[in-house]
Amino acid sequence: MNTRPLSVFQRVMLDYGPEFTGEWFTMNAVLRLSASLDPAVLSVALTKLVARHEILRTRVTDGVQMVSPPGPPVFEMCRDAADCLHAPVPPESGPLVVRLVRGDPDLLAVHLHHLVADPSTVWATCRELAALYSAELGGAAPPGPAAQYGDYAAAEDRLRRNTEAADRAWWETAMAQEFASVRKDETCAPYAERATLLPKSGLDAVHRFARTHRTTPATTLFAALACAMRPHTGPGPLVFTTVFGLRDRPEWRRMLGPCLLTAYVPLPAPPPRLTPGYAVEVRDVLRDCRRRCRFPMPEVRSFLAASDPVPFYEYVPDDWPEPYAFGPVTAQVVAAAGPKDTRAPTTLAIRSRSTAEGTLTAHVSSAGQGWTRERVRSLWPAVAEQVLTESTKDPLR
């Protein structure tokens, strides 16, 4: 058994506690099949897939990644599973579970433990599994991996050490502000729900604003959300947490493994309404946070004077892949999801995604202390109105 260093993401998840290492902390996808797959061929393709990638044979411990020798993966066959989208992935049995669900139509469910996978890993796993299945039927074999995740973790550690002193000084200054927090005059029971945050016209306006003012959709949404929060927090800077993807070398772009980093985002005090100038300020802060997010976040947390829970916001653009070809069988992604809710929320968390239909949807959860259901629901009409208004203004006036 080989050992590899932990990545920054893995260290942070271990620091967060057992909810972020248990069997339901998974990344999941369900593919609808145009015809039945041959289970024997699929099993061979899976075995070859696992042999090619160390991360699919890895168990994350408190100090290192433990890489097992190649062996058969967890492959299950079932009929009409009640919940195809979620399945437990016990870390001790291997980080990949694949289920072939017989039905009308047949489905292929792929489940990866989040400690070894991010959304890009899920799609790359499906793509390579399809190519290996096709190769067993006489097609061309896919090229070998450009990199192993253990190499990524080692390089990431070197990059972190090279900038550690400068990053510490930047974070210590950035987090020394007195951040505003939501008023606690309203409370409700903890809750979680899926919601459509913006219709197509609203998300179109976000993209239009971003193009006009040389920001990004994520920057625009962060800035507009901060402005919408101001009536509930009062004036003053705001702090969030978020997740950045860092596949910033060519060999890492199609590598399997979680190239994610959680980070604090200390935003300047928002104006009463969204302005292009504020969006540019937010863009620059997000750029600096992303550049410095390999610095240990537990240490960044120690620089934060306030004890109030920090809200989380994430925007992920629609990146569902085109159908995969398993030889003559077409496999289309029909559902995808991150970890299953297994614990009560501790803060406001908004995990937003754009959809193929052009809307913005989200999984929203809150502990209910200040950020009540109704208060959070009121944010998004304000976001839509402000972005629509600004996106229709003449930028030269």
List CB contacts of 385: < 8 A, sequence separation 6 or more.
none
Q: What is the mean pLDDT of residues 127-132?
A: 98
User: What pLDDT score does 188 carry?
Assistant: 94
Task: Quick: pLDDT tens for 214-253.
Answer: 999 999 999 999 999 999 999 999 999 999 998 989 999 9
* pLDDT (mean) for 337-355: 86
**pLDDT over 70 for what percent of the chain?**
98
396, pLDDT greater than 60: no
- pLDDT score of 92: 81
Of 123, 146, 115, give the one whose Cα is nearest residue 53.
146
Q: What is the pLDDT of residue 81?
A: 67
The pLDDT, as a whole number, for residue 97 is 95
pTM: 0.91
Provide CB contacts within 8 A for 349, sequence distance 6+.
Answer: 311, 312, 313, 363, 364, 365, 366
pLDDT digits (tens, 9 = 90+) for 248-302: 899 999 999 999 999 999 999 999 999 999 999 999 999 999 999 999 988 999 9
With contact defined as beta carbons under 8 Å apart, do 118 and 258 qualify? yes
Which range (120-124, 159-163, 242-246, 334-338) has the least confidence? Answer: 334-338
Query: Token pair of 150, please?
Result: 């253990």
Highest CATH level, class, for 170-311+347-392:
alpha beta
Q: Is the pLDDT of residue 74 over 80?
A: yes
Residue-wise pLDDT tens digits, 190-223: 999 999 999 999 999 999 999 999 999 999 999 9
Residue-wise pLDDT tens digits, 160-173: 999 999 999 999 99
Q: Which residues of 312-333 are buried (b: 16+ CB within 10 A; e: fewer)?
A: bbbbeeeeebeebbbbebebeb
Read off the pLDDT of each residue in 325-354 and give the average, rounded to a whole number: 90
- Split at pLDDT 50, 70, 90, the class of 394 is low
How confident is the model at residue 18, as a pLDDT? 83
**2-144 falls under which CATH superfamily?**
Chloramphenicol acetyltransferase-like domain (3.30.559.10)
Provide CATH 3.30.559.10 ranges for the chain: 2-144
- 340, pLDDT greater than 90: no
Q: What is the pLDDT of residues 16-68, one digit of tens each?
A: 888 888 999 999 999 999 999 999 999 999 999 999 999 999 999 878 999 99
Tens-digit pLDDT profile for residues 75-117? 999 886 677 899 999 978 899 999 999 988 999 999 999 999 9
pLDDT band of 308, cuts 50, 70, 90: confident
Residue 395: pLDDT above 70?
no
